Chains A and B, each alone.
Chain A
Amino acid sequence: MAIDSARGAPDVHELDDPELIQLLTPEGERVEHPDYPLELTPDEVRGLYRDLVIVRRIDREAVALTRQGELGLWASLLGQEAAQIGSGRALGEHDMAFPTYREHGVAWCRDVDPLKLLGLFRGVNNGGWDPAEHNFHLYTIVIGSQTLHATGYAMGVQRDGVLGTPNAGATIAYFGDGATSQGDVNESFVFASVFNAPIVFFCQNNQWAISEPLEKQSRIPLYRRAQGYGFPGLRVDGNDVFACLAVTRKALEAARTGQGPTLIEAYTYRMGAHTTTDDPTRYRLKAEEEAWKLKDPIERVKAYLVRNDLADNAFFEEIEAEAKQVAADLRKGCLAMPDPGPMDMFAHVYAEAHPLMTEEQEQFAAYLASFKEVSS
């Protein structure tokens, strides 16, 4: 066998990896997995379908608003809905999530008003929601750094001594395949491992780190990296909302009960661009997108609902109408978002008053007031 000196031996990435955990096939057929039994009521399945459809619609509207100049940027979650809704719906009341800037679906599960997600991208605020109120941290733009924050938070929960009690909360850190190449993520793995932190590392492997393919991130499947740090890692079909739900539930429960961290690699695909400033046709083949289209996360749930007579046309139309209304409200709310005043920049720098900043704040207020005198 010829070995290329730059690439080395052929890689071992295969979607049909025997380790891939799947509970719902792309055709909408339910399959059982011995380690991940999952019982869902028809209402719960319909609820997941509603979540998936609505977050996709929210995402589409935000992309359109960006194209119309109403937002400065948007990172589309298209194709990753199941990974986000599955893991997001697994979260309990006390669990805390640390997102990247793409976790719009998880935000939806944490009851963050979609409109609040837009503030940062419209440039009117630096976050827009109270992380403590929703147990959903602010979006983090820097790649991978939230895994450190999450690990620290998890170690804090551990020190609160609540693990194993009903008040126990696990921490979940979201990141992408590209982030696994960052030092921050690797440091998080080390700390989480040696301190047995109650954390779930949820990696949405969407195959592309902007324009860099997975083969430039790792020679082994990403989930196997966990083994090197000393905690379990597993790969789940990231387009299968059932499997993502079951796998994340189990990992969160392990964290809450003091069994330490888990790495979940949700194997999925970014169907859109990295962000609205990116053009994927410059680096990837159409055929690849077409192949992933057949594994759409929403279509398989719809097929499952129809196949098992759990939903009729009226239901699907109702969800469609609701999604449309959410999008219309989002558009209206976005266009009406007020611009912040110049003094607002001081509002969230420190939790409490700080003498130096108070002084600067007063100076700046006086400076602004000087214009008023001149103009009057």
Chain B
Amino acid sequence: MSEVKQFNLPDVGEGLTEAEIVKWHVAPGDQVEINQTIVEIETAKAIVELPCPYEGVVADLLVPEGQTVDVGTPIIAVSVSGGDAAPAAAAPAAEAPKQEAVPAPDEPGMVQPDEPKRQPVLVGYGVKPGATKRRPRKRPAAPAAPAPAPQPNGRPQPVDKRVLAKPPVRKMAKDLGVDLSTIVGTGPAGSITRDDVQAAASRQQAPAAAPQAPAPVLRGEEERIPVRGVRRSTATAMVSSAFTAPHVTEWLQVDMTATMDAVRRLREMPDFAGLKVSPLLLVAKALLVAVRRHPMINSSWVGEGDSAEIVVKPYVNLGIAAATPRGLLVPNIKDAHAKPLPELARALNELVDTARAGKASPADLTGGTITITNIGVFGVDAGTPILTPGEAAILAVGQVRDMPWVHEGELAVRKVATLALSFDHRIIDGELGSKVLRDVGDMLEDPLHMLVWS
């Protein structure tokens, strides 16, 4: 004899009116115990883990990850066996239709969601209105695994797209570059085993050589895409840059292990709470420090022939090349040289988000003085970047990956990345370009150099 009980989003913080479902720890079909953590929610005040009030089997998750719902909304349905898990008063009737239980506005004691004032609380600080959007912490994985959309009939989706695999298997798949979601598992409960991953990896390695029966090729027509917008301006900029400024590209492999440690420690500091701290932040800081030591790298060639001048900028508007749905955009961070590290981190986060959302303003996209392109995010090591027109240098950062490396006289596995610096050879000689690249490399190998040189 089982009964389905719903758990309504509680007010976990004295007068809060809503919360975002950040991450579900359980899925339909899972066995849950009383007080087992089932979900992480984010309120105006905190990220909070909610313990389950019932013992039973999860029947349904009623709100998908990423959605903000009002206090009182049912968020999970648990099928409870037996009758004594919790008194009926604690849950609405099992037959209640699965709709948002918005509190009746005239019900005494209920919090009105649009209460305009700061709410008085018993202990500590009150809640400011409209402050629910605090910081996006612990982003739910990546958009690659979309949260299950609520089904119109309120039933669970039959198959959760989540892949079952043990952590060592996941690691192996990652190392071999195998996408787990493309594999059909042969282990218990459909989980993916080591053998499955290895088989998939070997298929990937020899795709052409595999003498498989050629599948009938469906050929469509050639696609013709009009060159407009960002594509057109990118093309113009690339041509103008490539054929006016003589490019030189230099390369340097650096041991990023210390930088990765520093990144990890920065993440724990309250100054960076809510900010995404990536190795790119320290690369940007290193480049800014290098510019300070070698101002000429942050310059521009203006005019032609006798009237030509080299303009050395006393400020740095740091461009960050971003792949957006519209194409390549290079928004820049104004006065990046003057920003403390947390400010720089915030600017980096916002800049790229804004550009990706297609909301970069013309001011964001012009006036850059030097650029970083993070090609590592595409999983490649290096390239020969083309200068942003009007700038004298661009730094490409390749992926950081485990590589054999001689460290303190011994062979060790270290985090290694390749830097590539392209510069305008009219302005910058090989010596200066090399010094800049070497400086950036030194700072990334030992971030203490940033302190020394900044």
**Chain A interface (Cβ < 8 Å from any Cβ of B):** 60-61, 64, 66-70, 72-73, 75, 101, 141, 210, 273-279, 281-287, 331, 335-336
- With A335-B86, A335-B87 given, is the CB distance from A67 to B12 under 8 Å? yes
Query: Does B10 lie within 8 Å of A279, measured CB to CB?
Result: no
B121 sits at the interface (CB 8 A): yes
A285 neighbours in B (Cβ, 8 Å) = 268-270
Select B123's contact among A64, A101, A286, A336, beta carbons within 8 Å.
A101
Query: A-facing mask of B214-251, CB < 8 A → 1, else 0?
Result: 00000000000000000000000000000000000000
- With A277-B14, A285-B269 given, is the CB distance from A331 to B51 under 8 Å? no
**Chain B interface (Cβ < 8 Å from any Cβ of A):** 7-14, 34-35, 45-53, 86-87, 89-90, 121-125, 268-270, 273
CA A284 to CA B269, docked complex, whole Å: 8
Given contacts A61-B35, A72-B122, A285-B268, 11 further A-B contacts (CB under 8 A): A67-B10, A67-B51, A68-B51, A69-B8, A70-B10, A72-B11, A277-B46, A279-B46, A279-B47, A282-B270, A335-B87
A75 neighbours in B (Cβ, 8 Å) = 123
Query: Does B89 lie within 8 Å of A287, measured CB to CB?
Result: no
CA A277 to CA B120, docked complex, whole Å: 13
Q: In the complex, what's the smallest C-beta–C-beta distance from A320 to chain B, in angstroms?
A: 15
Q: In the complex, what's the smallest C-beta–C-beta distance from A333 to chain B, in angstroms?
A: 11
Can you show 28 pairs from A to B with CB atoms below 8 A apart? A64-B51, A67-B10, A67-B12, A67-B48, A67-B51, A68-B10, A68-B50, A68-B51, A69-B8, A69-B10, A70-B90, A72-B122, A73-B123, A75-B123, A101-B123, A141-B122, A210-B124, A274-B124, A276-B12, A276-B48, A277-B12, A278-B45, A279-B45, A285-B268, A285-B270, A287-B268, A335-B89, A336-B87
**Chain B residue at minimal CB-CB distance from A68:** B53
B7 neighbours in A (Cβ, 8 Å) = 68
- With A101-B123, A141-B123, A210-B124 given, is the CB distance from A276 to B86 under 8 Å? no
| A-B CB contacts (within 8 Å), total count | 79
- Listed from nearest, the 8 A-B pairs whose CB atoms lie closest are A69-B10, A279-B46, A277-B13, A68-B53, A64-B51, A64-B35, A277-B14, A67-B50
Q: In the complex, what's the smallest C-beta–C-beta distance from A252 to chain B, in angstroms?
A: 29
Q: In the complex, what's the smallest C-beta–C-beta distance from A59 to chain B, in angstroms?
A: 13
B268 neighbours in A (Cβ, 8 Å) = 285-287
- With A210-B124, A275-B123, A331-B34 given, is the CB distance from A283 to B8 under 8 Å? no
Select A275's contact among B50, B52, B53, B124, beta carbons within 8 Å.
B124
CA A331 to CA B124, docked complex, whole Å: 26
Select A278's contact among B34, B46, B122, beta carbons within 8 Å.
B46
**Chain A residue at minimal CB-CB distance from B71:** A69
**Chain A residue at minimal CB-CB distance from B269:** A285
A335 neighbours in B (Cβ, 8 Å) = 86-87, 89-90
A275 neighbours in B (Cβ, 8 Å) = 123-124
**Chain A residue at minimal CB-CB distance from B274:** A282
CA A275 to CA B125, docked complex, whole Å: 11
CA A335 to CA B125, docked complex, whole Å: 28
Q: In the complex, what's the smallest C-beta–C-beta distance from B34 to chain A, in angstroms?
A: 7
A278 neighbours in B (Cβ, 8 Å) = 45-46, 124
CA A281 to CA B12, docked complex, whole Å: 17
CA A64 to CA B35, docked complex, whole Å: 6
Q: In the complex, what's the smallest C-beta–C-beta distance from A312 to chain B, in angstroms?
A: 28
CA A67 to CA B53, docked complex, whole Å: 9
Q: In the complex, what's the smallest C-beta–C-beta distance from A299 to chain B, in angstroms?
A: 22
Q: In the complex, what's the smallest C-beta–C-beta distance from A122 to chain B, in angstroms?
A: 12
Query: Does B270 lie within 8 Å of A73, measured CB to CB?
Result: no
B13 neighbours in A (Cβ, 8 Å) = 276-277
A273 neighbours in B (Cβ, 8 Å) = 46
A61 neighbours in B (Cβ, 8 Å) = 35
**Interface-central residue, A66, A210, A277, by most chain B CB under 10 Å:** A277
Query: Does B34 lie within 8 Å of A284, measured CB to CB?
Result: no
A283 neighbours in B (Cβ, 8 Å) = 270
**Interface-central residue, B11, B50, B86, B123, by most chain A CB under 10 Å:** B123
Q: In the complex, what's the smallest C-beta–C-beta distance from A71 to chain B, in angstroms?
A: 9
Q: In the complex, what's the smallest C-beta–C-beta distance from A5 to chain B, in angstroms?
A: 19
CA A82 to CA B124, docked complex, whole Å: 25
**Interface-central residue, A75, A276, A286, by most chain B CB under 10 Å:** A276
Query: Does A277 lie within 8 Å of B269, measured CB to CB?
Result: no
Query: Does A72 lie within 8 Å of B48, measured CB to CB?
Result: no
B8 neighbours in A (Cβ, 8 Å) = 69
Query: Does A277 lie within 8 Å of B51, measured CB to CB?
Result: no
CA A44 to CA B428, docked complex, whole Å: 80
CA A273 to CA B46, docked complex, whole Å: 10
A60 neighbours in B (Cβ, 8 Å) = 35
CA A282 to CA B89, docked complex, whole Å: 35
**Chain A residue at minimal CB-CB distance from B7:** A68
**Interface-central residue, B12, B14, B121, by most chain A CB under 10 Å:** B12
CA A283 to CA B270, docked complex, whole Å: 6
**Chain A residue at minimal CB-CB distance from B137:** A281
Query: Does B11 lie within 8 Å of A69, measured CB to CB?
Result: yes
**Chain B residue at minimal CB-CB distance from A275:** B123
CA A101 to CA B123, docked complex, whole Å: 10
Q: In the complex, what's the smallest C-beta–C-beta distance from A332 to chain B, in angstroms?
A: 8
**Chain A residue at minimal CB-CB distance from B34:** A331
Select A67's contact among B49, B86, B123, beta carbons within 8 Å.
B49
CA A182 to CA B288, docked complex, whole Å: 47
**Chain B residue at minimal CB-CB distance from A327:** B35
- With A68-B50, A335-B90 given, is the CB distance from A277 to B10 under 8 Å? no
**Chain A residue at minimal CB-CB distance from B9:** A69
CA A66 to CA B50, docked complex, whole Å: 9
B11 neighbours in A (Cβ, 8 Å) = 69, 72
